[in-house]
Amino acid sequence: MCVSGGLLLRHFLLRTPIFIWGRLVDYSALMAQADALSLRGLGKTCPNPIVGALIVDSSGAVISQDFHDGGLHAEAKAINKIREIPKGATLITTLEPCNHYGKTPPCSDLIVKSGIKKVVFAVSDQNLVAKGGADHLRAAQVDVIGGVLQDQVTYSNRFWLNKIKNNRPYFIWKIGMTLDGKVCAKDGNSKWITSESSRAQVSKLRSQSDVILIGTGTALADNPSLNTREENVKQPRRLVMGHRLIPPASNLKDQSAQTYFLHSHNLDVLLDFLAKLEVNQVLVEAGPTLGTFLMKSGVIDEMHIYLSPSLLGSGQSFIDDLGINSLENRVMYKVKSTEMVDTDLKIILAKNQ
């Protein structure tokens, strides 16, 4: 049965199974599996993207899978797991295979040499140095289909894609607060506004982050460690911004994680420093001073709010004056998701693009 490329793509974008050479294969479901696999690389791949890859045989059964975790690329790891690629095998990968020599050889060359004759990917490579893998494969008579679950995979890989597009990391501001927007009581105590379950989720988020950023005010008031409690993971790097000195006995000066102290209040200095670290994503766990500064600077791309069902009435608000005097000038975000976490309401907000 002959199926045109245009019809194939329409079916893929609609996420419906189709018959290919008499067999029912749902590449959208397989891409969703590859996407979920790619998320295991969060916090491990910078400055590169997260990628998940599957190899399926001619019946659509998965015979190999892997993800990028900072070493070999996902496609190479999946191919290397198989002694001999079976006839009719298809590679499903979340990102267009790379086409340049970096730390590893081009995945596009490896795919051609492997004998794989069909490649399905979600998102085109946006890196000017590495793009072009799809064209290279087509020139080698490999059938290539792109755009499968593109929106979903774009969101999963938003940190790296944002860095390529905007030449800066993606910033997530995590906030735990009461219903009236307070992050600590009048006496300065903030432990604990949110539930243990919420704090466990934050620990997981830390493990998926490249750098955790706070100001000297938070460092002095809370003496945080900013470490993750996840097992068998490298502790994320810590960055403290501000001019005040941090005492030698501070938890931030222990040897559990690499820590940087940036004695500046300047956004360009911060972004230049982060560029040298080659990070994709920054988790902001700052208080209102640094958080407000970053919000006014326009770099808070996403907010993870853990809303406790409690009221304080007094205490410190999570944000200071933004200098906004009318509704027309308010800062708007989209609600991406809501979730009950024990007694707390978790809200993920993303900036309107």
Cβ atoms within 10 Å, residue 57: 15
Name residues whose C-beta falls within 8 Å of residue 234's C-beta, 6 or more positions apart in sequence: 43, 44
212 shares a domain with 114:
no
282-328, pLDDT tens digit by residue? 999 999 999 999 999 999 999 999 999 999 998 899 999 999 999 99
132 shares a domain with 242:
no
269 shares a domain with 151:
no
199 shares a domain with 117:
no
| CATH code of the domain in which 142 resides | 3.40.140.10
Name residues whose C-beta falls within 8 Å of residue 287's C-beta, 6 or more positions apart in sequence: 183, 214, 215, 217, 218, 221, 316, 318
* Highest-scoring range by mean pLDDT, 56-60, 101-105, 110-114, 335-339: 335-339
| Position 24 confidence tier, pLDDT thresholds 50, 70, 90 | low
Spatial contact of 31 and 20, defined as CB atoms under 8 Å apart: no
Average pLDDT of the chain is: 89
245-281, pLDDT tens digit by residue? 999 999 999 999 999 999 999 999 999 999 999 999 9
Spatial contact of 210 and 43, defined as CB atoms under 8 Å apart: yes
Spatial contact of 146 and 124, defined as CB atoms under 8 Å apart: yes
**Residue linked to tokens 């267009």:** 96
110-167, pLDDT tens digit by residue? 899 999 999 999 999 877 766 778 888 999 999 999 999 999 999 999 999 999 999 9
135 shares a domain with 174:
no
Evaluate if residue 12 carries a pLDDT over 60.
Answer: no
173 shares a domain with 156:
no
Domain boundary among 162, 187, 222: 162
Specify the number of domains making up the chain.
2
Evaluate if residue 3 carries a pLDDT over 70.
Answer: no
194 shares a domain with 139:
no
| CATH code of the domain in which 264 resides | 3.40.430.10
331 shares a domain with 230:
yes
* Structural domain of 122: 5-162
183 shares a domain with 111:
no
- Our answer to whether residue 231 is catalytic in this structure is no
221 shares a domain with 294:
yes
310 shares a domain with 222:
yes
Whole-model pTM: value is 0.87
191-241, pLDDT tens digit by residue? 889 999 999 999 999 999 999 999 999 999 899 999 999 988 889 999 999
